[in-house]
Amino acid sequence: MNLIDFFDAGVTSHPDAPCFADCGSDAPAIRYAQAGALTCQIARGLQALGLPPGFHGAVLSGNAGTAFTALLGILRAQGVWLPVNARNSADSNLEFLQDMDCDVLFYQAHYADQVAAIRAKLPRIQHFIALEDAAGPDLSVNRLIQGHSGDMFSSPPNPQALAMIMGTGGTTGRSKGVMLSNRNVMTTFANHMSVMQITGRMTVLAAAPITHTAGLVSLPFMARGARVLLMDGIDPQNLLQVIARERVSMLFLPPTVIYTLLAQPNVREFDFSALRYLMYGAAPMSPDKLAEAIDVFGPVMLQIYGQAEVPGAISVLTLEDHLIDGQVAPRQRLLSAGRRFPFTRVAIMDDDGQLLTQAGAVGEIVAQGDIVTRGYYKNPEATAEVQRHGWHCTGDVGYFDDQGFLFIVDRKKDMIVTGGFNVFSSEVEAAVMAHPAVKDCAVIGVPHEKWGESVKAVVELRPQQSLAPEELIAFVKNRLGSVKAPKDVEIVAQLPRSSVGKVLKKEVRKQYWQDQERMVS
């Protein structure tokens, strides 16, 4: 199969069902038959421009139905989709489009200034296509599709062909392009569908950017005729209202956004009874906040652990795994990343490339299977480095327990070595996050003359909360002991976050290591 086939399954089986609806818009939802016809016209229009199979296309837009149909049109024309996140900086988007050899760029009018800068610096891009009608020299989608049939068509299945090149989203240095084939993404969908019951015409809310998990995870649901609501930007009160009012069945959110929702004083006043799955991932989640989320939203939490190179499907903590005998599972269970997905091979490897099979043995988490990328675009050196010993090396350190649950103890580069002891920052972060006044945190190692590094916690508090640093240090020391407890706590108004909501620990760490030898990348 090709990636577009999942969307086509919805067009075939539910042509009259609502497909895309933009939150906050009075415009009626576009139905599957309409969306299918439009993607066919866009694909034929792209082919008429002379773009051959394998061209590289991007869509610079917030979450919108027009953007989703444009990216589907790229896929239908046998193009390779370059997911460019409009919430990233203009410079990082320009670098990504340049490095990934973009040929055609669709854009929303809101980003016209950014497009002007891209146009001036990237002559390789042959075609700029406006999603809305606008004056100027560029084609609009309406002009692109003029004279082209909306009759459905598909290309021969080509599972090894590239479907997309996803950026790694590095905050220091240039982003690497992860090449994902149709088979890679199809294996992700197979994994996800193995742990979720996708029945009837469910309502999926894409609140996080559709250029990442929120967009991809919609496609298996669309195969069953789901209605996809698109929200551009996350306002916590609006998000809670939409979930309740629109009877949302499924959505994906990073933990930081879930923390923000939990911090809303009126969060328990909303009706979440229609919610079947609240998928979370992209960063570890505090077990205490997770238990609170289950209490607030219901038994709907579903954790996925993955990377762009193994897209969203290394391991899963299912709905059932969050509970034991109908009660919230113990804290230790909630600390885990779940068990391996059925279509991904996962193991623990030591520094010499030997697999560690004993329960509790700590090493690097590695993966194999049809889900693993073939490598980084035009970067054979980085590809060879990450594919050592015939496995994809995640850079995450972890272990399996005797029940097959995977525990991630840290990123290799985030481990703190203090006075000869290894301290895993994720363990300290979980203890810090257990304090009821804490909304989010980043635990890092900072230079220390005697110990090499000392443990520091940079903390963001919940609204209207106050907390003395010494109180938090004592709180963590009581849980973890003096070696692992932070020696210093800094309260900040807001932690730096990426465009998809992940705390940028690199940015937090950078200010303390600017004149030191420790790597911050």
Retrieve residue 304's tokens: 């996925």
Find all residues with CB under 8 Å of 279, minimum gap 6, and list them. 213, 217, 250, 251, 252, 253, 302, 303, 304
What b-and-e string marks burial along 406-422, b requiring 16 or more CB atoms within 10 Å of the CB?
A: bbbbbeeebbbebeeee
Q: Which of 163, 164, 177 is nearest to 92 (CA)?
A: 177
CB atoms within 10 A of CB 462: 18
Compute the average pLDDT of residues 110-132. Answer: 93
Is 36:222 a contact under the CB 8 Å cutoff? Answer: no
- DSSP β-ladder status, 139-140 and 127-130: parallel
pLDDT recorded at residue 514: 64
- DSSP string covering 415-431, please? -EEETTEEE-HHHHHHH
Q: Mind listing the pLDDT tens digit for each residue in 410-458?
A: 777 777 878 667 787 888 998 999 999 999 999 998 888 777 788 999 9
pTM of the model: 0.84
Compute the average pLDDT of residues 307-312. Answer: 92
* Residue 518 pLDDT grade (very low, low, confident, very high; cuts 50, 70, 90): very low
Q: Mind listing the pLDDT tens digit for each residue in 14-35?
A: 999 999 999 988 889 999 999 9
pLDDT at 272 over 50: yes
Domains in the chain (CATH in brackets) are: 4-233 (3.40.50.12780), 415-513 (3.30.300.30)
What b-and-e string marks burial along 27-40, b requiring 16 or more CB atoms within 10 Å of the CB?
A: eebbbbbbbbbbbb
* Residue 49 pLDDT grade (very low, low, confident, very high; cuts 50, 70, 90): very high
Name the DSSP class of 268. Answer: G
Retrieve residue 471's tokens: 């109180």
Q: Mind listing the pLDDT tens digit for each residue in 467-491?
A: 999 999 999 998 888 888 999 999 9
Distance CA 448, CA 518 (A): 12
Find all residues with CB under 8 Å of 229, minimum gap 6, and list them. 21, 22, 23, 203, 204, 205, 206, 242, 246, 248
